[in-house]
Structure 1
Amino acid sequence: MTEVDGEEEDKDNEYDQVKSYKPCIVAAQTLHKLALHLPPDKVITPLLQWADLVFKGSDTRAKQAGYTALAVVVEGCAEHIRTEYMATFVQVICSGVKHPQAHVRNAALYAIEKFAQYLQPDIDKYANDILPTLLEYFSATVNSLANGKKVPRSVERVFDTLEMFCDTMGAKLNPFVPALMEHLFIALNPTYPFLVKELALSAIGATANAVGKAMVPYFGCIMEHLKIYLSGQLPEEEMPLQIQALDTLEEIASTIGEETFRPFADEYLKFTINLVQSKDDPNLRISAYAVFTSLARVMKEDTAAALPVIIPLLMKTVESNEGVTAATNDDDDESTLFPAGDLLDDDEDVSPMDYYEDDDESEDDDESEDDDESEDDDESDGAGCTVENVYLEEKKEACFALRELALQAR
């Protein structure tokens, strides 16, 4: 799982063509499969004999491989790691996040992400070690983005891991909220790339879901930030940021408490309606309709004044045929084996398993298709229709909003 690069420059095109058979990818795939199908001690014991020397040594590429190895075995060996090695592995991985070399840090972050994914809820016991380490890394990385530097994948990993902890810790996250919110507000600096701001808004919503009314001290500042994105027109490429702002608004309205949110409800309802009327995007409407649902619970009968505007918007979605197309047996989509992206450059942190996991999902899809083959053979060409998932989701959210408005706006 080690790889020596002779150059530091971007290699998108090269990796797009050769990533499927790079030795580091094949090694990670193999170790992952071994961990899934062999007894855990048959994998962990020899791995530790090698990794102990690696982590004590000075070879940074070997360290990178060591952290990647820990990441790819955790799914198959979760219970064994949980009971025997959790404290030791967490300590080793946290030290890797602080390593001076980027490729080592990135591999360690990948390991933390996988530990957070597969070792819940036990990993929460080590939040005192993991969360400050993530926030320290995040702060240093975000500060470097003010100069226009590309957002590394590692930043997304940090946010993904933070949100996993939010999802499982609940009120136990309260002691970390002040430091977490301080870092998230910094990330909303207007000079930072919109992806960072989008991730920060998502993390604010996840934190609100976890701690609820403990977010009250930060509520005013949160609403001012949301107002920036919801009250104006952003460039088309920044629409995901506006959609995320709506998602965060919905989470805040649902968790902060009716008494706290009510003074802001009318203004933010108008912002949401204006966005639906001015933007023709199903993803934005999905998020906006969820806001309607949450605000109906806050405003109750006071939403009645807005019903003449809201109801036609919702009914238009319910009645729409947009996204519905005739389907034939010749319309099968082709998908690539791996997504585009770099792999294990010094300045990049895409892990071998990022590609492998997509491949694994593709195999599962193939098996499902094989199971349904006999049913497909009985269908005639053009015998049905398909509806794009995004439009189904939009209709579902519209129905939820209609139901809640009917219950509350009496």
Structure 2
Amino acid sequence: MMSEELERILARLTEPDNAVIQQATAELKQAFKDPAIIPALCALMTESQNPQSAAVMLRLRVRKHWKKISPDHRESLKAVVLQHMIEIYFFNYYTVCSHISTLNSVQVGLLLLSKVVGSNPEPFKPHYKQLLQLFGTVLQDLNNPTALYYCILTLTAITAYTGTEEMNLMRSLIPKLLIALKHLIQADQDHASEAMEVFDELMESEVSIVVPHIAEIVRFCLEVCLHILIVIITCLFLNLLKAVLKHKLLQPILQVVFPILSAAPPPGEEDPEDEENDTEGDSENPKHFAVQVGLFTCFTLPFTQTCLSSENPYERKGGLMCMAVLAEGCADHIRTKMLSSMLQTVCRSLSDNNQVVRSAALFALGQFSEHLQPDVSKFHAELMPLLHGYLSAVNQTKIGHMTKAFYALENFLENLGPEIEPYLPTLMETMLSALNNAENLKLKELAVSAIGAIANAAKEMLVPYFPPIIESLKGFLTDTREEMRTLQTQALDTLSVLARTVGKEVFSPLAAECVQLGLNLTDGVDDPDLRRCTYSLFSAVSDVSPDCLAPHLTPITTVMLLSLKSTEGVMAHLDEDKPFVLLDDDDADDEDEEGDVDLDEESETEVDDRDVAGFSVENAYIDEKEDACDALGEIAFNTGVAFQPFLESSFQQVYELHDFPHEDVRRAAFGAMGQFCRAQHKSASRPCQSVIHSLPIVVLPCFLEAVRQDRERQVVMAILESMNAVIKSCQGEALQAPGILAEISNTIKDVLKKKVRI
């Protein structure tokens, strides 16, 4: 009976009479207070002549009140929606399309399918063949871009879950998919851009599906979308270079990419990386996408050489930019066969009469210094005078150009080691002059950063210059002006490097003062970058003078644990789909009438009410958590017994981050847990309580599970290194749990046999 009444109410919502609509809305709000509304809407969606309104209302209720729906109604809803979408809308698609008046129903059906499948694709696996057959039909309906859009979204969702049974059907869809995307681009570029993600998924999950269609896909991307082309080229060059060469696709790809790479900017403008300002350039422009092609293949070298010999400065710049990324992607080839000649080219370009070329040469030299070590350091006699002379000659008001010069110098110095000695006096004269005399704070920041690189190479050789460096750094760290924040962050980083490099005898007298400087900054400034740098300073001091840190462990661990717990910087992204708003006004009233609400359920309702589609965290807060984990682990190990009162609370908070979404935080958390185990073993003479009494029993199974389950290579490598350190330090204590030795052995075997997920 309720279904019939509900159908009449929904029908009146479409009447061209405001009074009727208002009355129907009031009745609908009242009906929504009845728990039987869910089965009634399900019945209408499957039995009504006009199911669209029922589907919209059902979606509204599900999205905003899922936790309040009874378990029985939830299960029946899943079954009804799944059966209805597959058996009625989609398997009768031909019938639906033959009646133009029901075309909107097809779009609504595809919309609902994309939402349901997108939220959990795996339960649909038994129906993948039928769905793929349906998609083959939908993709040919080129006059219905909305249907194409939702069809492609659903295809994207199931791609990662398809198996060998669906492979042939998937392959047959590729030509239809390309044609459909071309039409979708003309109809709605925003929808087309989102639909293009199907290529990402295909390349990530089922690259073998696209192999027979490589030529068609590349030509499509050359015509319509450079960004997607770069994604595809990345996968092709990493996995299917032979197929690219077989289909003779390399030449047309490079012929499209290189003109983009070497194009001059519009008259009166500059490329973002050539602008003279303190900020980094826009990395999302076509040139930066194009230059990434050079990362994967040395076949670009003939094009590069042609660019370098051009009279056009932007073509010379393009050649240098390509050489720069080749240093990363083709390091072994360059190191063994081409390093000397490429360095000569870069050195000549540093004297080019055009500044954009000189800037590109500096970038290339910085890339060489970063990716071609230790071979590139052998050329220090030629490069160091050139770099220092260049730095001295650059107009200091051109901060953008100075930044590139310091970048090249730092990367080269970092790995120079003892060979830096003959250059140290002139280098330090330049750096100290910048610290004392430069008016631009960015220039001071660059000099402070360079001193850190010099310290890594020179170590104790820097001691004669230590007093003036420290005086400058202390002055920066006690300045309370807001504009000093970035310089203070860099000063803390360099101070940490100095603590680890100049020797304990030199730095220890300053250790207590450095700790107090760090605490003053964490108390007085709310900035995640500044906090993470103070954490690094504390851990460096713990290595040099742990006794100086021990009296301050309470405030230090307190602020670090707050960083680990913090949700600051977390941003909710709202769903762009605008919900039906007729019922929103009474949501608060509904809450009141239903009485007390469980706090957990209430918080979830708040999230639902805001239509949150997902969350992201600002990079600075991710870095803060990562550095807090690293620092806590090192401080725990270095301070030993003094850290024991803080070990349990620190371990529990770090342990909660072992499944954190960001891989860098997970890596740091696993590393810290290993350090905690070693710290506990090191301080075994002090009685322990609670979980701390047997840390390895908790930590090692967590490590082993993560080795098998984590998808990030760097995380798994860090876990294995940490596990190795724990077993070496704790020895028999680490292997007391029954069966743990066999589990460790089996896991190592699986890693060696490539049976883990990475």
The structural deviation recorded for 1:242 is 0.6
What are the Cα deviations for residues 300-354 of structure 1, in whole angstroms up to 9, with x where unaligned? 22334434543443444344443456x678389xxxxxxxxxxxxxxxxxxxxxx
For residue 185 of structure 1, what is the aligned residue in structure 2?
Answer: 432
What are the Cα deviations for residues 169-205 of structure 1, in whole angstroms up to 9, with x where unaligned? 3333333333322222222244332112112111211
Q: Does 1:300 align with 2:546?
A: yes
Q: Does 1:151 align with 2:399?
A: yes
> How far apart, CA to CA, are the structure 1 residues paired with 2:336 and 2:498?
37
For residue 135 of structure 1, what is the aligned residue in structure 2?
Answer: 388
For residue 84 of structure 1, what is the aligned residue in structure 2?
Answer: 337
For residue 277 of structure 1, what is the aligned residue in structure 2?
Answer: 523
Aligned with 1:188: secondary structure? Answer: helix
For residue 260 of structure 1, what is the aligned residue in structure 2?
Answer: 506
For residue 496 of structure 2, what is the aligned residue in structure 1?
Answer: 250
> How far apart, CA to CA, are the structure 2 residues paired with 1:87 and 1:183?
28
For residue 3 of structure 1, what is the aligned residue in structure 2?
Answer: 264
The structural deviation recorded for 1:295 is 1.7
Select the structure with the greater relative contact order (CA < 8 A; seq sep ≥ 6).
1
Q: Report the AA paired with residue 44 of structure 1.
A: L
Instruction: Decide whether the 8 Å contact of 2:369 with 2:411 is kept in 1.
Output: yes
Q: Report the AA paired with residue 3 of structure 1.
A: A
Gaps of at least 5 residues in structure 2 are 1-261, 276-280, 578-607, 643-758
The structural deviation recorded for 1:253 is 0.8
For residue 349 of structure 2, what is the aligned residue in structure 1?
Answer: 96
Q: 2:293 is matched with which residue: 29, 33, 46?
A: 33
* 240-249 vs 71-80, which moves further: 71-80
What are the Cα deviations for residues 381-405 of structure 1, in whole angstroms up to 9, with x where unaligned? 8699765553344344445545555
The 5-angstrom pairing of residues 8-407 of structure 1 reads 20=285, 25=287, 29=290, 33=293, 36-37=296-297, 40=298, 43-45=300-302, 47-48=304-305, 50=306, 54=310, 63-141=316-394, 144-145=395-396, 149-152=397-400, 154-234=401-481, 236-307=482-553, 309-324=555-570, 330=575, 388-406=618-636, 407=638
The structural deviation recorded for 1:249 is 0.8
Instruction: Decide whether the 8 Å contact of 1:215 with 1:256 is kept in 2.
Output: yes
- Residues 102, 391 of structure 1: alpha-carbon distance in 2 compared, 3 angstrom cutoff: closer
- Residues 405, 70 of structure 1: alpha-carbon distance in 2 compared, 3 angstrom cutoff: closer
The structural deviation recorded for 1:124 is 1.3
Instruction: Decide whether the 8 Å contact of 1:32 with 1:76 is kept in 2.
Output: no
- Residues 323, 87 of structure 1: alpha-carbon distance in 2 compared, 3 angstrom cutoff: closer
* 181-190 vs 200-209, which moves further: 181-190
- Residues 230, 74 of structure 1: alpha-carbon distance in 2 compared, 3 angstrom cutoff: closer
- Residues 303, 116 of structure 1: alpha-carbon distance in 2 compared, 3 angstrom cutoff: closer
Q: TM-score w.r.t. structure 2 length?
A: 0.40
The structural deviation recorded for 1:244 is 0.8
> How far apart, CA to CA, are the structure 2 residues paired with 1:95 and 1:403?
47
What are the Cα deviations for residues 137-157 of structure 1, in whole angstroms up to 9, with x where unaligned? 11122xx33xxx3412x3222
Give identity over the alignment, percent.
35
Q: How many residues align?
A: 339
Q: Report the AA paired with residue 112 of structure 1.
A: L
Aligned with 2:479: secondary structure? Answer: coil
Give 1 or 2 for the bigger CA radius of gyration.
2
Q: TM-score w.r.t. structure 1 length?
A: 0.69
RMSD, aligned CA: 3.7
- Residues 390, 43 of structure 1: alpha-carbon distance in 2 compared, 3 angstrom cutoff: closer
> How far apart, CA to CA, are the structure 2 residues paired with 1:298 and 1:52?
50
Instruction: Decide whether the 8 Å contact of 2:265 with 2:271 is kept in 1.
Output: no
